[in-house]
Copies of this chain bind each other. A is one copy, B any other.
Amino acid sequence: MAKEITPRGEDYSKWYIDIVKKAGLADNSAVRGCMVIKPYGFAIWENMQRELDRMFKETGHQNAYFPLFIPKSFLSKEAEHVEGFAKECAVVTHHRLMNDPDGNGVVVDPSARLEEELIVRPTSETIIWNTYRDWITSYRDLPLLVNQWANVVRWEMRTRLFLRTAEFLWQEGHTAHATKAEAIEEAKQMQRVYATFAEEFMAMPVVQGAKSANERFAGAEDTLTIEALMQDGKALQAGTSHFLGQNFAKAFDVKFSNQNNKEEYVWATSWGVSTRLIGGLIMTHSDDDGLVLPPRLAPLQVVIVPIPKPNGEINEVAEDLMAALKAKGISVKYDQDKKKRPGFKFAEYEMMGVPVRIGIGKRDLENGVVEVARRDTKEKTQVALEGLADHIQQLLEDIQDNLLAKAKAYRAEHTTEVNSFEEFKEVLQNKGGFVSAHWDGTSETELKIKELTKATIRCIPNDAVEEEGTCVLTGNPSKKRVLFAMAY
């Protein structure tokens, strides 16, 4: 080895990028702000997709696919949507190249200008609601529960691999309902689905809450969010679920005839998570030796390393063990590469965040044991060959649980109730994390706090307790605490 990575304490941003690159997750590309997701990073995304897709289908959703392009005029149809959202985007103006008359490769054919420019979708509410007009005529067509896995483009000025890129992969659910209550319940349900996924699979605890008016999705009446806390004390918005009211139905004239044969506008939700989740996964668990992955999302759960190199006896034990682990649905690799020494391999698999490493050496075998190292705690133990596969299966579950418990403890430690603005600033400055504070509910106060501290309201937690209090900034009365933080 060793691919060195910058320690977190030295430069958190550089640590993050080092892990992304050195664990082989993603890389910058020749196109400004667009990333290449490498096979190992994409395998994590595939695991996330598989579980999320299952959860979406279990809650009655179907997948579909809508066009990449949106006619420019569509973006203006929902006034707030275009105002808050769709300005920085990729605009297609022509549909043909031609040979450069001067012989220098190809140039845009000026005669192939589009009548109306097309926007590469930054999100698909407009094109989808324009389509739903044809799909929905009666209450019998509702609810319409559709999801799409897609790429989207937002022309971000400052990008960071996975966390903020010009192109990213995501899913966007777009549902249509006959009643307001049903749409609100759908938005809540998907928030719960996201929270369950984050906790059970990513081992990333999240706070479920609502965004303040200021931080809502452009065109939404309510934006629900799941907010996670990273190891540098900054919050990450990990997924959002929007109740859109009848805004898009009105903008695109989508009505249904109800059971009394009267026409009404349809109620809508949309909800999405993206490859940003991979950024959250990295920053929740990883350490100065590299990536740490929760077993349920790790592309490779167990690696077996022969010590110092493969031989007949070791191979036999390794192959039996592989078969036993595979039979339990555990992914495993036996690294027989003779050109690399065990120490090199250990560092490599630590960098990649493989949850469990098993070292098989001749001397250990004589004692009927192998060495089992867990990536999360870096603890090593001698484990008997007998019952080893069962032990590993249990260990993977323990690691999954431990990662969640550790992240929860970190969050608990870094969630601080404050009761004055001095305290607010002090905690933000020196400790970071979520700051739980009373707020008078106005956008003015929120913006003033942001201006003074750069902190934003991450959410009004769903489980916020009703209590009498006074706003940390203005002293005006407040009924509940909200969570502030610095955020990605």
Contact surface of A with B, Cβ cutoff 8 Å: 27, 29-31, 34-39, 42-43, 45-46, 62-76, 82, 86-98, 104-109, 117-120, 127, 130-131, 134, 146, 150-151, 153, 155, 167, 169
Sample of 19 A–B contacts (CB below 8 Å)? A27-B134, A29-B67, A30-B131, A36-B64, A37-B64, A39-B63, A42-B63, A68-B151, A69-B167, A72-B105, A73-B105, A87-B109, A88-B95, A91-B93, A91-B95, A91-B108, A93-B93, A95-B155, A151-B151
A118 to chain B: closest residue by CB:
B31
Question: Across the interface, do A31 and B127 meet the contact criterion of CB distance under 8 Å?
Answer: yes
A90 to chain B: closest residue by CB:
B92
Set of chain B residues within 8 Å of A95, measured between Cβ atoms: 88-91, 155
Shortest distance in angstroms between A381's beta carbon and chain B's nearest beta carbon?
A: 32
Considering the chains assembled together, what is the distance between the CA atoms of A169 and B67 in angstroms?
Answer: 10
Question: Across the interface, do A65 and B93 meet the contact criterion of CB distance under 8 Å?
Answer: no
The answer to whether residues A36 and B131 also contact, given A72-B106, A76-B105 and a CB cut-off of 8 A, is yes
A38 to chain B: closest residue by CB:
B64
Considering the chains assembled together, what is the distance between the CA atoms of A130 and B31 in angstroms?
Answer: 11
Set of chain B residues within 8 Å of A34, measured between Cβ atoms: 67-69
Considering the chains assembled together, what is the distance between the CA atoms of A156 and B313 in angstroms?
Answer: 61
Considering the chains assembled together, what is the distance between the CA atoms of A40 and B184 in angstroms?
Answer: 26
**Copies held by the complex:** 2
Set of chain B residues within 8 Å of A30, measured between Cβ atoms: 67, 71, 74, 127, 130-131
Question: Across the interface, do B31 and A70 meet the contact criterion of CB distance under 8 Å?
Answer: yes
A30 to chain B: closest residue by CB:
B130
Question: Across the interface, do B97 and A91 meet the contact criterion of CB distance under 8 Å?
Answer: yes
Question: Across the interface, do A36 and B62 meet the contact criterion of CB distance under 8 Å?
Answer: no
Set of chain B residues within 8 Å of A130, measured between Cβ atoms: 30
Considering the chains assembled together, what is the distance between the CA atoms of A105 and B73 in angstroms?
Answer: 7
Considering the chains assembled together, what is the distance between the CA atoms of A46 and B51 in angstroms?
Answer: 15
Set of chain B residues within 8 Å of A42, measured between Cβ atoms: 62-65
A128 to chain B: closest residue by CB:
B36
Considering the chains assembled together, what is the distance between the CA atoms of A97 and B108 in angstroms?
Answer: 20
Shortest distance in angstroms between A88's beta carbon and chain B's nearest beta carbon?
A: 6
A134 to chain B: closest residue by CB:
B27
